[in-house]
């Protein structure tokens, strides 16, 4: 691909399309939203201006001007729409979760490989302020060998809501919503575990799918990673805690980029002004035989890096920022977690197809 501008077709203009995808696509040089598939054409045009709006995703996929398709549609549509887009010769970005099952994800990976097309999954939390800070600490060896890690996404929504994300039949549930973020983050830090044990309860009266999860990942070297998310946590647990043989690092709150995008802020200024996280983490490390505690400034978040990476990958000047094969491992862990919760046991990844 050598064109100066890559034309993008965005399928879905709900929360994900409006907050996470359209703003970043519009502010990434070299990318242009040429068409949107949505039943809310008036809202799309009010936000994005004179773009082509299709009521049917099939019409967008048939548009020869569209080179890259971004799927910001409900979870259950990811597999059939991504498959159709690849069959139509389009490069594809899929919001998380990649698909409903690892088998579906593997089929898409094979199809993209066969057709020589880019297939990427929007694991944007790789560019969270907390994630970038954790990666820096791990690369520097500041904490020594990490023996235990915990990561959480806690919210307080004590009343179930009538939306597809809280409907199991539509592919909803907190495991499929927030689990992909935490599993991808774990893989980024520590690689693939041996096994997973998960609990996926329904805690709120009237819930139609799990509204909390707790998962433990076991590694060959003894490392344990605990992951959790809840809809009934008025006091949130720390976003991340890493404990190593030389010390610990704990960061309490979430990356600020989602809140900034919801508030209408856009990453249009200097990179140093976007994603600024003013909350420092707490670092405690061994120094001369004693533990010294200090505040550690948090790296800036960098969500714009994802779509800049997609542009560069399509132009042949950089790698795919989140290769679909990496997201396939996340899907295998999601599958294993569901098996674990249903059968009340630890599930080795070796039990699942590669």
- pLDDT tens digits for range 64-104: 999 999 999 999 999 999 999 999 999 999 999 999 999 99
Longest dimension (CA), the chain: 67
Inform me whether the pLDDT recorded for 1 exceeds 60. Answer: no
Assess whether pLDDT exceeds 70 at residue 135: yes
Q: Structure pTM?
A: 0.96
Q: Is the dihedral of CA 187, 189, 191, 196 positive or negative?
A: negative
Which of the four pLDDT bands, split at 50, 70 and 90, describes residue 338? very high
Task: Identify the band that residue 272 occupies on the pLDDT scale cut at 50, 70 and 90.
Answer: confident
The pLDDT value recorded for residue 189 is 98
Closest alpha carbon to 90 in 35, 51, 158: 35
Classified as helix, coil or strand, 219 is: coil
The per-residue pLDDT for range 306-324, each reduced to its tens digit, is 999 999 999 999 999 999 9
How confident is the model over 144-185, as pLDDT tens digits? Answer: 999 999 999 999 999 999 888 999 888 899 999 999 999 999
Structure tokens at 263: 């508030």
The set of residues, in sequence order, having a beta carbon less than 8 Å from that of 168 and lying 6+ positions away, is 208, 209
Contact (Cβ atoms closer than 8 angstroms) between residue 106 and residue 353: yes
350 vs 54: CA distance, rounded Å: 43
Domain spanning 6-124+306-320: CATH superfamily: NAD(P)-binding Rossmann-like Domain (3.40.50.720)
Residue boundaries of the structural domains of the chain: 6-124+306-320
Nearest to 275 by CA among 296, 305, 295: 305
What is the pLDDT, as a whole number, of residue 31?
98
Question: Any residues with CB less than 8 A from the CB of 110 and at least 6 apart, and which?
Answer: none
CA distances from 151 to 27, 162, 251 (A): 30, 28, 10
Block residue for tokens 């398709």:
69
């Amino acid at each position: 691909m050598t064109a100066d501008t890559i034309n993008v077709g965005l399928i879905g203009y709900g929360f994900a399309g409006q907050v996470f995808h359209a703003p970043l696509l519009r502010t990434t040089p070299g990318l242009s939203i040429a068409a949107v598939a949505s039943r809310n054409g008036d809202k799309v045009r009010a936000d994005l201006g004179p773009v082509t709006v299709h009521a049917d995703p099939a019409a967008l996929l048939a548009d020869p001007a569209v080179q890259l398709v971004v799927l910001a549609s409900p979870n259950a549509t990811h597999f059939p729409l991504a498959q159709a887009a690849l069959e139509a010769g389009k490069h594809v970005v899929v919001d998380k979760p990649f698909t409903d099952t690892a088998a579906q994800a593997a089929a898409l990976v094979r199809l993209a490989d066969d057709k020589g097309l880019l297939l990427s999954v929007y694991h944007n939390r790789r560019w969270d302020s907390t994630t970038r800070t954790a990666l820096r600490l791990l690369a520097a060896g500041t904490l020594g060998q990490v023996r235990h890690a915990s990561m959480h996404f806690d919210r307080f929504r004590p009343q179930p809501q009538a939306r597809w994300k809280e409907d199991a039949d539509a592919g909803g549930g907190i495991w499929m919503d927030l689990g992909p973020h935490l599993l991808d983050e774990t893989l980024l830090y520590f690689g693939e575990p041996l096994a997973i044990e998960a609990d996926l309860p329904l805690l709120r009266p009237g819930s139609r799918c799990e509204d909390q999860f707790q998962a433990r990942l076991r590694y060959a070297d003894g490392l344990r990673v605990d992951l959790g998310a809840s809809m009934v946590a008025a006091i949130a647990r720390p976003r991340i805690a890493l404990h190593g043989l030389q010390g610990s690092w704990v960061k309490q709150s979430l990356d600020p980029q989602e809140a900034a995008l919801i508030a209408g802020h856009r990453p249009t200024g200097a990179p140093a002004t976007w994603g600024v996280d003013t909350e420092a983490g707490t670092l405690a490390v061994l120094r001369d035989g004693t533990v010294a505690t200090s505040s550690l400034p948090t790296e800036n978040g960098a969500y714009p890096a994802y779509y800049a990476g997609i542009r560069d990958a399509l132009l042949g000047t950089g790698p795919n920022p989140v290769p679909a094969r990496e997201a396939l491992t996340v899907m295998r862990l999601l599958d294993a977690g569901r098996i674990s919760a249903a059968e009340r046991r630890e599930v080795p990844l070796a039990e699942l197809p590669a």
